[in-house]
Amino acid sequence: MSHAVGHVFDPTILREYDIRGIVGETLSAADAHALGRAYATMLRAGGGRRVCLGFDGRLSSPELAKALADGLERSGLEVLRIGRGPTPMMYFAVYHLAADGGLQVTGSHNPPSHNGFKMMLGRKPLYGAQIQELGQLAAEGAFSDEKGSLSDTPLLDAYVDRLVRDFRPGRPLHVVWDAGNGATGEALQAVTARLPGRHELLFADIDGRFPNHHPDPTIPENLADLITAVRRAGADLGIAFDGDGDRIGLVDGQGRIMFGDQLMQILAADVLARHPGSPILADVKASQALFDEIERLGGQAVMGKTGHSLMKTAMAEMGAPLAGEMSGHIFYADGFYGYDDALYVAIRLLGILGQDDLSLAERRDRMAPMINTPELRFDCPDEQKFAVIDRVKAGLAAEGARVNAIDGVRVGTDDGWWLLRASNTQAVLVARAEARDKAGLERLKQQLATHLRAAGVEPPAF
Ligand SMILES: [Zn+2]
């Protein structure tokens, strides 16, 4: 053990599911180096030695990856550098290379100036208290002081082989893809070159400046190019990815956006046909239509907390073959490893759609017609957001409302439901409401606004 001077991270970068900051302001190469030493010390304490390291397409990623690799090596790890690619390529590497953990340098869907790290310890996501522990280890400077090694193990080819292996051939489809200049670009080109059908690729060159649109498919304006291209081409569907490829965006042949909870209805039907009665997990933001459909198909619908690390952990505990979030994080354990790989989800979806004559738009039209808001996000300082939720919760308790408090509050009424929760990753509150008709949705939105005002927050226009 070396007791060098400790390294103190900016406290804002140690987040719930990852480490993330603004490069040159709250995050530097020195942070990456210290993180490498702290992570290596934690892994060595648990007996681990081999670790996979990947990075996304951001301009700052190579420099941060180099500093991180040096820190990992300096504290005794065998570092396998798998190269540039999406975050799920790193998850795959941990299994494929039988490593003891993995790290990805990525700012996910955030602006070009941001960057950060997603990590696995063993085959589990490293998050929550463990991230705080890394911060303490670094502050104490009590780093493991052994010599490790660095080697290059490019993984893109093996990753693409694994993805394509689970494609089920059927009716050839015309697909427009939008990688948003994110880290999936190269893998996407390799995958689509090996699939039957017609594939048009938008923004598949990796460019960390994101010159075309922001790589976040949950924001409808980021899907505008894809929608235009699908309509112009008369394509069967459009598929988009977030910046690091762990979230999927979807557009049907009419150019209508389908969120993760709608896509899940299709994927759940396929999985439940092969695993009857299985639990299927969806997050608190998901439409009631999804939970109802899972039950109708004979599955057990389970509502879980939003957050990719929480979803992965919960699905492993309950042995669920499939889990998904409205945000587009979708997790396959059926035939796969139980983590969120958007390219893999796309391949499974194309297989399902190719197996019969129903188009994606027709499938969408058969879904229960719920009227809902998209995910509504509005700013609320980090140090206040959980207190706001507590005040709303207290107000609801005083009214005797029907509340599911698994993650924020999901309030059931005769009209439908509304949700208010604090984001674990951003200084925002997240809301959503869903009813069977427009008047009901208005009543729900008014209730939500009333509760926000009572908690001292001026509700945004929604
Ligand atoms: Zn992501």
The per-residue pLDDT for 34 is 98
Residue 114: closest CA among 23, 230, 37, 229: 23
- Which amino acid, one-letter code, is at 205? D
pLDDT tens per residue across span 69-125? 999 999 999 999 999 999 999 999 999 999 999 999 999 999 999 999 999 999 999
Give distance in angstroms: CA of 315 to centre of ligand 1. Answer: 19
Rounded to whole angstroms, the Cα distance separating 240 from 207 reads 16
The per-residue pLDDT for 2 is 55
The per-residue pLDDT for 460 is 83
- Which amino acid, one-letter code, is at 242? D
pLDDT tens per residue across span 16-25? 899 999 999 9
Give distance in angstroms: CA of 7 to centre of ligand 1. Answer: 27
> Average pLDDT of each block of 10 consecutive residues along the chain (462 residues)?
78 92 97 98 97 98 98 98 98 98 96 97 95 97 95 98 97 97 98 98 98 95 98 98 98 97 98 97 96 98 94 96 97 97 98 96 95 91 94 95 95 96 89 96 96 92 79
Examine the residue annotation and report whether 60 is marked as an active-site residue of this protein: no
Buried-state track 336-368, b at ≥16 Cβ within 10 A, e below 16: bbbbbbbbbbbbbbbbbbbeeeebbbebbeebe
Give distance in angstroms: CA of 143 to centre of ligand 1. Answer: 30
Give distance in angstroms: CA of 373 to centre of ligand 1. Answer: 22
Give distance in angstroms: CA of 329 to centre of ligand 1. Answer: 8
Collect contacts of 228-234 with beta carbons under 8 A, ≥24 apart.
228/255, 229/176, 229/178, 229/200, 229/202, 230/176, 230/255, 231/255, 233/174, 233/176, 233/200, 234/174
Check 61, 108, 278, 287 and give the catalytic one: 108
